[in-house]
């Protein structure tokens, strides 16, 4: 799953898709929980004319009428993530997967590894920060859906991060659910935005597992969510190393 994301983009940072380069607004979000239900930058449109816009992190169905209904729905399920294998089985995710694919920008994401130390009574969840080696920004596959609050008339884009089966590296960290965000290379990201993809091609891209050898991870102190800078909350517990 992917419920905690990071985006740090200094002044002058850019992204390039199919030869088109655009500058990002300076951004310093070392940690954001999806459960805060705040906005997050996404890339949408064609690769020749894409835009970078803030969108509400939580895909909201068109049949939901008010923010009160949105909040009530969270008690039953969340739509922060969309499972790749079930994109076309869901009446919520299918229209967005077919027509409204986007890219979710990231510098790294957070996940928990469950491990039972010697002498412990039960397993302990150890937080990790996962990045891509020698790459400060990367793309996660996403789907978005415009939504209008029928009471206020406010319209906004809402989105989910697509998740797939964990690769060999992530299986060691997210060792309960064994999931990870669908991370795309620049070429794959450009293809994901192509509005003319077939269902089979969408499924192929959505289910990609990123090269395990290109990922890097380190443990964090359990207090990282309240630290002024989560990146500084290093911790090196006695855990089996990652292969």
Q: Which CATH number fits domain 4-109+137-164+180-213: 3.10.450.50, 3.40.50.300, 3.90.1680.10, 3.40.50.10440?
A: 3.90.1680.10
Q: What is the pLDDT of residue 222?
A: 85
- Among 95, 90, 126, residue whose Cα is nearest residue 111: 126
Residues β-bridged to residue 41: 54
**What is the rounded distance in angstroms from the CA atom of residue 209 to the CA atom of residue 197?**
19
Contact 206/162 with Cβ under 8 angstroms?
A: yes
- pTM tops 0.85: yes
- Among 197, 205, 26, residue whose Cα is nearest residue 99: 197
CB atoms within 10 A of CB 18: 15
What phi, psi does 113 have (nearest 5°)? Answer: -110, 130
Q: What is the pLDDT of residue 234?
A: 67
Give the SS3 label for residue 142.
Answer: strand
CB atoms within 10 A of CB 120: 9
Two tokens, residue 237: 């517990």
Two tokens, residue 153: 């008339």
Q: What is the pLDDT of residue 225?
A: 86
Q: Which residues contact 241 (CB under 8 A, 6 or more apart)?
A: none
Per-residue pLDDT of the chain (243 residues; tens, 9 = 90+): 799 999 999 999 999 999 999 999 999 999 999 999 999 999 999 888 899 999 999 999 999 999 999 999 998 889 999 999 999 999 999 999 999 999 999 999 999 999 888 777 888 899 999 999 999 999 999 999 999 999 999 999 999 999 999 999 999 999 999 999 999 999 999 999 999 999 999 999 999 999 999 999 988 888 888 877 776 766 766 676 675
Q: Cα separations (Å) of 130 from 2, 8, 71, 98, 231? A: 11, 14, 30, 29, 11
């Amino acid at each position: 799953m992917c419920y905690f994301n990071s985006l740090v983009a200094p002044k002058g940072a850019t992204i390039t898709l199919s030869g088109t380069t655009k500058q990002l607004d300076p951004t310093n979000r070392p940690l954001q929980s999806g459960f805060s239900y705040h906005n997050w930058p996404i890339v949408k449109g064609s690769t020749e004319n894409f835009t970078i816009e803030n969108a509400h992190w939580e895909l909201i169905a068109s049949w939901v009428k008010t923010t009160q209904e949105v909040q009530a729905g969270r008690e039953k399920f969340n739509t922060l993530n969309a499972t790749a294998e079930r994109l076309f089985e869901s009446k919520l995710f299918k229209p967005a997967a077919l027509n409204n694919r986007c890219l979710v920008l990231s510098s790294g994401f957070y996940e928990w590894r469950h491990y039972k130390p010697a002498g412990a009574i039960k397993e302990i969840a150890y937080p990790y920060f996962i990045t891509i080696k020698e790459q400060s920004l990367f793309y996660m596959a996403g789907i978005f859906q415009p939504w209008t609050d029928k009471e206020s008339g406010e319209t906004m884009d809402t989105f989910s991060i697509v998740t797939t089966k964990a690769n060999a590296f992530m299986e060691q960290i997210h060792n309960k659910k064994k999931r990870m965000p669908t991370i795309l290379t620049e070429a794959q990201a450009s293809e994901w935005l192509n509005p003319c993809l077939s269902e089979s091609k969408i499924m192929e891209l959505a289910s990609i597992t990123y090269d395990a050898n290109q990922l890097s991870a380190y443990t964090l102190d359990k207090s990282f969510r309240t630290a002024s800078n989560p990146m500084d909350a290093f911790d090196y517990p006695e855990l089996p190393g990652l292969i």
